[in-house]
Amino acid sequence: MSTDPLQLARPDLRGFAGYRSARSEALRGEVWLNANEAAWANSADRDGLARRYPQPQPRDLRVALAGLYDVEPEQLLIGRGSDEGIDLLVRAFCVPGSDAVLVTPPVFGMYAVSARLQGAGVVDVPLQDATDDFRVDLQQVAARAEGEGAKLVFLCSPGNPAGGVIPRDAVLRLAQQLQGRALVVVDEAYIEFADAPSLATDVGLQRNLIVLRTLSKAHALAAARIGCVIADAHVIALLQRCQAPYPVPAPCAALALGALQPASLAQTRDHVETIRQERGRLGTALAALPAVHRVYPSQGNFLLVRCFDAEAAFRALLAAGVVVRDQRAAPQLGDALRISIGTPEENDRMIAALRVAGAPLRHDFVSGEAMSRPSGTPAGEAA
């Protein structure tokens, strides 16, 4: 039996009702004069989607997402990307000035950014660069979370940018161990590209386990800003009380609902399969280039690549019009680039550009204006 995860919420928020919007009342009627909305649609609003405030959690989309992830609608909160889910979790569970979150750098920057904005501490448990892959030391995670009072443990699986998946058994064991002390949040932004299944269906059994999913990556809807927190229904209700009144714009909800129809889902699956094949092809091709000395195995739609001269490689790519993510400011990644998998044609172009970057220490081809590279990887920058 697992204990009530709401015991971990900020004590001052336990009785908090949040904002009661006009849409959250269960009223019936034909003439709606209760929300000070406009009497006529805007002429630019051709589909008439935008005149009225949307449902705080659009019911049809919530049901469709719950179906996609195989959970109950009440176990799922739709937000403005999983970024909002991260922020809501930190705000609802971390008391400023005393609580902390635990992260495993090098990792997605938003966990630490949200913690910082909340005035919560950040406990770093660095990934270990093993011979074959980056690894999360879950024993150390458990010990440090307990020892330093972390309320939220953020695990990224597949990891961005490291690319590895944390085994399900190990995550469940950690959650069990931290029960009553911390929530274990598994960010599965890239799980569609992985061989491993999602842990979403485990949230019903292990109540301090939380899973983040998004339509931004595999479903190609980054600009629609639709992401989900999947958790115990009581945790979801608490997060919703902390959320902005109408967080899901109606045009975005309509787009997302379209993406969850069978034809779109089938196409998404095809694209994911192509990305997985390209990932294998590129891993081999990159590893064979003279500019590259290590390619990490990846379960995401990107590859983490160590270069002999990352500066030269980054500039050679840029000179060819290919923009990749410079990871050199991230801990342990002083020589690394993260390369998203594109279309096969885009990938060919990337490989061709990196091939001419050649062996170490060739700066001579760099043109004057390419000299100032974008400044590393600020911790807060998305994706």
Q: Which amino acid is at 14?
A: R
Among 57, 75, 114, 214, binds ligand PLP (CB under 6 A): 214
Stretch touching ligand PLP by CB under 6 A, among 145-153, 209-217, 259-267, 285-293: 209-217
Among 5, 54, 58, 81, binds ligand PLP (CB under 6 A): 81
Give me the DSSP letters along 153-187.
EEEESS-TTT-----HHHHHHHHHHTTTT-EEEEE
Q: Measured in whole angstroms, how far is the alpha carbon of residue 383 from the centre of its chain?
A: 8
Among 227, 248, 276, 309, binds ligand PLP (CB under 6 A): 227
Among 75, 82, 327, 377, binds ligand PLP (CB under 6 A): 82
Residues 136 and 130: their CA atoms lie apart, in Å, by 10
Smallest distance, ligand PLP to C-beta of residue 189, A = 4
Strands 325-326 and 336-340 come out as: antiparallel
Which CB sits closer to ligand PLP, 83 or 202?
83
Stretch touching ligand PLP by CB under 6 A, among 173-181, 211-219, 230-238, 362-370: 211-219
Side-chain-side CA neighbours of residue 222 (13 Å): 6
Q: Measured in whole angstroms, how far is the alpha carbon of residue 87 from the centre of its chain?
A: 12
Smallest distance, ligand PLP to C-beta of residue 188, A = 8
Stretch touching ligand PLP by CB under 6 A, among 80-88, 130-138, 272-280, 331-339: 80-88
Residues between 148 and 177 with contacts to ligand PLP, criterion CB under 6 A: 156, 160
Q: Which of 34, 27, 155, 37 is nearest to 103 (CA)?
A: 155
Residues between 309 and 368 with contacts to ligand PLP, criterion CB under 6 A: none
- The residue at minimum Cβ distance from ligand PLP is 81
Stretch touching ligand PLP by CB under 6 A, among 128-136, 210-218, 252-260, 320-328: 210-218
H helices within the chain, ranges in order?
59-69, 81-93, 110-118, 138-147, 168-177, 233-242, 250-259, 262-287, 310-319, 344-357
Among 10, 78, 105, 187, binds ligand PLP (CB under 6 A): 187
Which CB sits closer to ligand PLP, 93 or 108?
108
Stretch touching ligand PLP by CB under 6 A, among 76-84, 91-99, 326-334, 363-371: 76-84
Residue 111: phi and psi, rounded to 5, are -60, -45
Residue 134: phi and psi, rounded to 5, are -75, 140
Among 56, 83, 94, 193, binds ligand PLP (CB under 6 A): 83
User: Do 206 and 172 touch, CB atoms closer than 8 A?
Assistant: yes
Stretch touching ligand PLP by CB under 6 A, among 36-44, 212-220, 288-296, 336-344: 212-220
| Residue given tokens 């697992």 in the structure block | 2
User: Do 174 and 188 touch, CB atoms closer than 8 A?
Assistant: no
- Please count the residues of this chain forming the interface with ligand PLP, following the rule CB under 6 A: 14
Burial class (CB in 10 A: 0-12, 13-18, 19+), 182: buried
Would you give the binding string for ligand PLP spanning residues 257-296, x where CB under 6 A is met? ----------------------------------------
Residues 149 and 134: their CA atoms lie apart, in Å, by 25
Which CB sits closer to ligand PLP, 92 or 103?
103
Which CB sits closer to ligand PLP, 189 or 304?
189
Peptide bond into 54 cis (omega under 30): no
Q: Which of 19, 378, 383 is nearest to 227 (CA)?
A: 383
Q: What share of the chain is helix, strand, coil (3-state, %, to 5)?
A: 40, 15, 45
Smallest distance, ligand PLP to C-beta of residue 197, A = 18
Which CB sits closer to ligand PLP, 8 or 189?
189
Residues between 97 and 116 with contacts to ligand PLP, criterion CB under 6 A: 108
Smallest distance, ligand PLP to C-beta of residue 300, A = 8
H helices within 204-343, ranges in order?
233-242, 250-259, 262-287, 310-319
Stretch touching ligand PLP by CB under 6 A, among 214-222, 229-237, 318-326, 365-373: 214-222
Which spans of this chain sit near ligand PLP (rule: CB under 6 A)? Answer: 81-83, 108, 156, 160, 187, 189, 214, 216-217, 222, 227, 383
